[in-house]
Amino acid sequence: MDLAYFFEKGGPLMWAILVAAVVGLFVFLERLYSLQRPRILPRAFVDRIRAMVAKGRTNEALLLCEENNSSIACMMAASLRVYSDGKGRSEVKEAVEEVGSREVAHLDKNVEIIATMSSISPLLGLLGTVVGMIQVFQRFVEAYQEGRATPDVFADGIWTALITTAYGLMVAIPLLILYKIIQGRNDRLVVEMEEDAMGIVDLLDDFRRAETKQAAAAALAGQEG
């Protein structure tokens, strides 16, 4: 099958379908690069911050988070800043959720473009077919009036008109698969980010409770002494 030949026979709307394919593929590759786990959720970094928080080294943990550009680092930095201000669990959690919503929006950036290109490609193909069929019937009527109408004239025009629909589907189906791949990766990252961020919130809350108990125990020992 000579794709270049069929592309040429498909008419001007083939270029629109090609643009949709290029845009969708470009956005997919850009998102695939941007949504790499080390850029969003570096596991070694998260484990290191958790270990530091568990030991009460919150200031050092905050400094490391502010130096890191990952999404999870921004969420953990928000929790550590609010904790350093002496706020309670609810305020810490609220700060994490606020920053998390912004980071999720950043992860979702441009993803819907892939779905849009997948949706409009078959519509462009259908439009090309409808326009082509109109031209087919117009030529057939003219040929009939001139007394040279044959089945070949009609058949040749029909298969040419159907080319755009075929190409539209050839673009739409792969783009839909690519969209689902990116959407699935995005959803998994968001779930893991939320779990890790709330894990930090729990650690901070546990550490604060332990400090409170120690302070109370020390005060009680002082009174008994």
Cβ–Cβ under 8 Å, residues 17 and 121: yes
For the chain, the domains span: 3-211
Q: Which two tokens stand for residue 217?
A: 């125990």
**Residue 67 and residue 45: Cα distance in Å, rounded?**
11
Backbone angles phi, psi at 57, to 5 degrees: -90, 60
Cβ–Cβ under 8 Å, residues 27 and 110: yes
pLDDT band at 86 (very low <50, low <70, confident <90, very high): confident
Q: Give pLDDT tens digits for 103-149.
A: 988 888 889 999 999 999 999 999 988 888 887 777 777 766 776 66
Q: Give pLDDT tens digits for 170-221.
A: 999 999 999 999 999 999 999 999 899 898 888 888 877 776 676 666 666 6
Cα radius of gyration rounded to whole Å, the chain: 30
Q: What is the dihedral of CA 207, 88, 76, 35, to 10 degrees?
A: 130
pLDDT band at 30 (very low <50, low <70, confident <90, very high): very high
